[in-house]
Chains A and B, each alone.
Chain A
Amino acid sequence: MNITTSEFFRTRRLVLKGAGVAALIGLGVVPFDVPQALAAANDKYPEEAFKQKTEADAIKALYGKTAEPSDKVKMDAPEIAENGAVVPISATTTLADVTSISFLVSENPISLIASYKIPAGTLPSVANRIKMAKTSNVTVIVEAGGKLYSARKEIKVTVGGCGG
């Protein structure tokens, strides 16, 4: 008797829940579903992109498209880094509708260093410190209005930060 009752309640709850969601979708009012879906998409860590060895593969895994060079993407980085373990690099852009900014080092064992999500209201400007194994091109990718723009600069490294 007890089992039957609890089963009854569980079924009833499921039915109610289902009916509620169906009603919301039916009405076209989904008050919490949309932000949740957005948050989920935003929060996902791009595991695959951080496994790629080459710059091209990393960009492909991260964005699924290629970037075009743009003088609207500015990178501030030293010409020569004395210590490859700590290379201060910042990037900024005058492009509108920026959704993300990523940093890649082509000669590192894993090319992708960092990818920053820029929600609306956050300025498209980031400063951070990265590791460089040796002298290499450093690429900044800016995603703006669904397109990718890049800037690239060679930084000379006197002491690598990834060897041992």
Chain B
Amino acid sequence: MASSIRVRATSNGDTTEVQALIQHPMDSGFVKDAKGEIIPPHFIQQLTFEYDGKPVFVADWGGGVSKDPYVKFAFKGGKKGGDLKVSWVDNKGATDTTTAKIQ
């Protein structure tokens, strides 16, 4: 299965800029479907970015984050060719992980 995570990490010397796009419904639990039944909550709770074995960014999310969430941040100390590990876990316990090379 293709990964749900798309990451782009670009180094411009000192700083590494990271953009991530994840495929996930991010159902808040407040929306009703066509039949008027509430769609149960299903959203990513925690998204972690690790570089060199240390977390460089941790996102704690609720159901208020948009569907197919996007996030952008930057950190110092990343090297070109280095591995950035990205993983998430949702409220149903599902997870996904990927590793991206810093470009």
Q: Whole-angstrom distance between the alpha carbons of A85 and B64 in the complex?
A: 9
In contact, A86 and B66 (Cβ under 8 angstroms): yes
Q: Whole-angstrom distance between the alpha carbons of A113 and B26 in the complex?
A: 12
Q: Whole-angstrom distance between the alpha carbons of A113 and B37 in the complex?
A: 23
In contact, A131 and B65 (Cβ under 8 angstroms): yes
| Range for the number of chain A residues in contact with chain B | 35 or more
In contact, B67 and A117 (Cβ under 8 angstroms): no
- Considering only CB atoms, which chain A residue lies closest to B34 in the complex? A164
Contact residue among B60, B62, B70, B76 (Cβ-Cβ distance under 8 Å from A110): B62
Given the interface pairs A85-B67, A116-B59, the reply to whether A123 lies near B73 with Cβ below 8 Å is yes
Interface of B is mostly: strand
Given the interface pairs A129-B69, A162-B28, the reply to whether A123 lies near B74 with Cβ below 8 Å is yes
Given the interface pairs A117-B57, A129-B70, the reply to whether A123 lies near B28 with Cβ below 8 Å is no
Q: Whole-angstrom distance between the alpha carbons of A162 and B87 in the complex?
A: 26
In contact, B64 and A113 (Cβ under 8 angstroms): yes
Stretch at the interface among A4-12, A39-47, A142-150: A39-47
- CB within 8 Å of A: which residues of B? 15, 26, 28, 30-33, 39, 45-46, 48, 54-67, 69-77
- CB within 8 Å of B: which residues of A? 39, 42-43, 45-46, 50, 85-87, 90, 105, 108-110, 112-119, 121-123, 125-131, 133, 161-164
In the A-B complex, the 4 residue pairs with the closest CB atoms: A164-B32, A113-B64, A127-B72, A117-B58
